[in-house]
Amino acid sequence: MTTRTIQPATVKKTLVVKASQAKCFKVFTDGIDRWWPKTHTVGETPLKRAVIEPREGGRWYGVSEAGVEDPWGDVLAWQPPARLVLAWRINGRFKPDAAVHTEVEVVFVDLGDGTTRVEFEHRGLENLGEGGDAARAAMDGGWSLILGQFQTAAEEP
Amino acid sequence: MTNALRKDVAFAALADPTRRQVFERLADGPRAVGELAEGLPVSRPAVSQHLKVLKEAGLVIDRPEGARRVYQIDPQGLGQIRAWLDRFWDAALAAFAAEAERPDDDADETGEDAPR
């Protein structure tokens, strides 16, 4: 019997950032801790730090206030300043789960006028329903509230 | 049911391996209970039970076809999960852009770490 995978559409985002390609890559990776939402975390205690190790095969993880490392995934492609692919191994409950394989790809295109087009996609979302722990009750309704507050704060001049 | 709650239920529904198998079979196209039960190591009533859970989770829909009931995947089901991620990345990338566009303190283009 052939099994066909159910494929939710890839999440795609494109934005133009008023910063150089090199700076965009650097802020996205080395500087992830400066922008990654700390309002919610995969750990038991609040997120203190987010890290992407700067090499292919490097780890992508969060460190909680309690000092615990939570593995989020790893670096699949490291091509500064143009491209980054990360494995996102976080299940539907926002818990680390090595059995989950989804991919986040970020491409930075130099537009030549000091701005950069960031092409983002998160694909393989059909895999979110897999993994032993993947499936029980996920995020609570508070999430949308938190994200709303976050967005307001982020958009302040 | 709120969207968030509905998504929780969808994840829960797919946690069970047999139920996921039933769900994956429906990816090949609409099926009746009897067809779904063929080749699965569970009884037909068990398949019906799984379908009930999948239906309540918003993952499958059913319709009568003559004397039997045919089940198919509700394309909106996994969409709930996707919708959440879609919103999450909107917020995260907005924060990234704000950070990338922030003038560096003692700034160079490569964004060498400024003290913070």
Residues of B in contact with A26 (CB under 8 A): 110-111
Top residue of B99, B104, B116 to mutate, by most chain A CBs within 10 Å, is B99
Round to whole Å and give the CA distance between B39 and B36. Answer: 8
CATH number of B1-102: 1.10.10.10
Flag whether pLDDT at A48 surpasses 90.
Answer: no
Q: Within a 10 A sphere around the Cβ of A9, how many other Cβ atoms?
A: 12
Q: Give the model's pLDDT for residue B109.
A: 46
Distances (CA, A) of B68 to A5, B33, B108: 26, 8, 70
The structural domains of chain B, with segments of one domain joined by +, span 1-102
Split chain B (116 residues) into runs of 10 and give each run's mean pLDDT: 56 74 77 89 92 83 88 67 76 92 65 46
Tell me the DSSP string of A8-65.
PPPEEEEEEESS-HHHHHHHHHTTHHHHS--SS-SSSS-EEEEEE-SSTT-EEEEEET
Q: Report all structural domains of chain A as residue ranges with CATH numbers, in order of start.
A: 11-154 (3.30.530.20)
Residue that wins the pLDDT comparison between B114 and A74: A74
Is residue B34 a contact partner of residue B22, using CB atoms and an 8 Å limit?
Answer: no
Nearest residue to B25 via CA among B6, B5, B50, B1:
B50
- B99 and A20 within 8 Å at the Cβ level: the answer is no
Round to whole Å and give the CA distance between B12 and B59. Answer: 11
